[in-house]
Amino acid sequence: PFRLFDNALENRKRGLHTRAVIIDELLNILIQAEQDDYELVWPGLTHRAWLTKRLETVASCIETHFPRHFLTGTPEMDRWTGRSASEMANGVREMVKWVVVPSAHTCEDFKARVNKYFAAALASEWGRFDRVSAENLFQRKGMMDRVASLVSAVLTAAVPILLLLLLSRLDVVAEPLLTYLTVGAYIWAALSLLSQLDPQYATKMAALKDLTKTFPLGKKDGGEG
């Protein structure tokens, strides 16, 4: 109960004092980043976990609470404000990638970006926040997933064909069985590709199978001689 009460108070604070919370979180990050030994603190996983929480608080405030301060009653305008806030929040979340998977110069770039956002929030110049669409935020991961899925589909489809070529070279299988196996291998390859590339393939095939059962093809009337 106390945790729920605390969460409710925190959410209330973010809703009423959105800008102040954003400034406070960014300032806390800057205070840490300006320490003389920050180069030694930066690599620590505990510190990076702390940074991700601070950044997500900023992003959440921008995405969830920021638009509520600018409700106009016009649906189109309110949707634009909400979309803009989400893109600004994604710009903040982009820095989480830097924290999780940093490169050689990430630390300095990170501090510069936090300074930029802090100054922007302090001056209420929200247009200085970088805006990243949801599609672009996860675009690289989505592309890698699609490539991996395609490679997996091709390999799965190619296995029976490769085995068939091996059997053919070894003269293990003779005609007409070889022809039957060849046709079967290519059918398997086609079906494997379809099942990998089309998530609804199995459902469509099941529906088609059920549909064909409704046609009286090949059925004989028991009353006919």
Give, for all 225 residues of the chain, the pLDDT tens digit: 667 766 677 777 777 789 999 999 999 999 999 998 888 898 899 999 999 999 999 999 999 988 888 888 888 999 999 999 999 999 999 999 999 988 878 899 999 999 999 999 999 999 999 998 876 655 555 555 556 666 766 777 677 777 777 777 777 767 777 787 778 777 777 776 666 655 555 554 555 455 455 555 444 454 444
* Six-digit token string for 182: 């060849």
Q: What is the pLDDT of residue 145?
A: 59
Q: What is the pLDDT of residue 218?
A: 47
**DSSP helix, strand, coil percent of the chain (3-state; round to 5):** 80, 0, 20
Q: What is the pLDDT of residue 58?
A: 94
Residues sharing a CB contact under 8 Å with residue 170, sequence separation 6 or more, in sequence order: none
Whole-model pTM?
0.57
User: What burial class does residue 80 get, using C-beta atoms within 10 Å of its C-beta: 0-12 exposed, 13-18 middle, 19+ buried?
Assistant: middle
Instruction: Print the domain residue range for 39.
Output: 2-137
Structurally, the chain folds into a number of domains equal to 2
CB 41 within 8 A of CB 47: yes
Q: Which of 137, 167, 192 is the last residue of a domain?
A: 137
Under the phi-then-psi rule, with left for phi > 0, alpha for psi from -120 to 50, and beta for the rest, what region is 198? beta
Same structural domain for residues 160 and 82? no
Q: Is residue 222 part of a domain?
A: no
